[in-house]
Chains A and B, each alone.
Chain A
Amino acid sequence: MEALKQPWPWYLAGPLIGLFVPLLLVLGNRRFGISSSLRHLCAAMGSRLPFFRYNWRAEAWNLAFVLGIAAGGFAAGVLLPHPGPLELSPQTAAALRQMGLSPEGGLVPQELFSWQAVLSWKGFVFLLLGGFLVGFGARWAGGCTSGHAISGLSAFQPPSLLATLGFFLGGLLAAHLILPWALQALR
């Protein structure tokens, strides 16, 4: 049981994640992708927009999959939690402290993700806007990290390479330019 609580190294986790591409293909000829579930949820809530008018029930596997992800997150995060902070690189930890974030918040910085942060309007807007960009961008690009960076690159699909380049370009901009400014505004 103790071994299940320890962080897994990249050379174990990476190949295991890669196996989801053949697994879902064999299970039901599905393309491993997660952000489509957000579209199915909008469709299931009965949106009248043409983009959401399709037979989402035929794609219910994706909703079962993400429900499973939450259950797995519960098992790993609540039932078998890893005690103690992450082992971050010293440079990253120093940069975090400089921006006023504790590197010892567990999986996520408490200054951004705790109830206290959620219930402050600035903290709420920060998370909501960030999530909005993730949802909007994922649908525009037709997939997220799982659909493009893992599935698409595994199949050598050029559009997925383009999307993955975009992911990193946006992420670099956010982490280096926007985040320091946003954290200042949050204080």
Chain B
Amino acid sequence: MALPIPDEFPLEASRPTPSVLGLVPYFVAGGFFGFLAIRSEIASWYRIYEMFRFESFHMYGIIGSAVLTGALCLRLLRRWGLEIRPSEPGRYRYLLGGVVFGLGWGLVGACPGPIYALLGSGVAGAGVVFLGALLGTYAYGWLQRRLPH
């Protein structure tokens, strides 16, 4: 029996189920993100391809300034005791899983956020990518115990 893999959603520590009304702020926040993903062109296959060819600063500027902003805000929030949940321990899962994710990212030029944004904007192919991502997620759930973490 393999050691249990640490999970981000442990059953015993489950939080209460939110009300539908409580979900509205998240829907609105998502709306802003989706709008932003299209307008900033991070949802563009072309921008991702350009990034991996190192021929434009656009994506690097976005990721860099997003991390900087996030880090500064987290620094401030730490004073009020707010901190984001740490990642689970492990090494192989991050590198190997990361590479597998990157292979897909480089081919279909969309990570999960942009997949949803493109779905909403009516890009036919995004539906197939979404279906593939669901299948991939399911396949991971099936193979999890046999993969190094």
Q: What is the interface of chain A, defined by CB distance below 8 A to chain B?
A: 4, 6-8, 10-29, 31-32, 34-39, 41-42, 47, 49-62, 64-78, 82, 86, 88-89, 91-92, 95-96, 103, 105, 107-109, 112-115, 117-118, 123-124, 126-146, 148-157, 159-160, 162-176, 178-179, 182
Given known contacts A61-B18, A108-B123, A77 and B38 CB-to-CB distance under 8 angstroms: yes
Instruction: Give CA–CA (A141, B149) in the complex, Å.
Output: 9
Q: Is there an interface contact between B123 and A21, defined as CB atoms closer than 8 Å?
A: no
Given known contacts A19-B69, A89-B56, A134 and B117 CB-to-CB distance under 8 angstroms: no
Least distance between B143 CB and chain A CB atoms (Å) = 8
Q: Is there an interface contact between B26 and A112, defined as CB atoms closer than 8 Å?
A: no
Q: Is there an interface contact between B17 and A133, defined as CB atoms closer than 8 Å?
A: no
Q: Report the interface size for chain B: residues with CB under 8 A from the other chain.
A: 123
Interface residues of B in 20-52 (CB under 8 A from A): 22-52
Nearest 5 pairs of A and B residues by beta carbon: A166-B98, A170-B102, A68-B30, A77-B121, A72-B34
Q: What is the interface of chain B, defined by CB distance below 8 A to chain A?
A: 7-11, 14-18, 22-53, 55-59, 61-71, 73-74, 76-77, 82-91, 93-113, 115-142, 144, 147
Least distance between A61 CB and chain B CB atoms (Å) = 4
26 contacts between A and B (CB under 8 A): A10-B40, A13-B40, A14-B64, A15-B66, A20-B29, A24-B26, A34-B113, A35-B137, A60-B23, A67-B30, A88-B50, A96-B49, A107-B123, A113-B126, A118-B124, A126-B108, A130-B132, A133-B132, A144-B113, A150-B70, A155-B74, A155-B83, A159-B90, A159-B94, A170-B99, A170-B104
- B interface SS class: helix
Q: Is there an interface contact between B34 and A71, defined as CB atoms closer than 8 Å?
A: yes
A57-B17, A144-B113, A166-B101 known; 12 new pairs, CB 8 Å cut-off, are: A4-B39, A7-B40, A17-B66, A60-B18, A62-B26, A72-B30, A72-B38, A76-B121, A78-B120, A88-B56, A141-B96, A160-B87
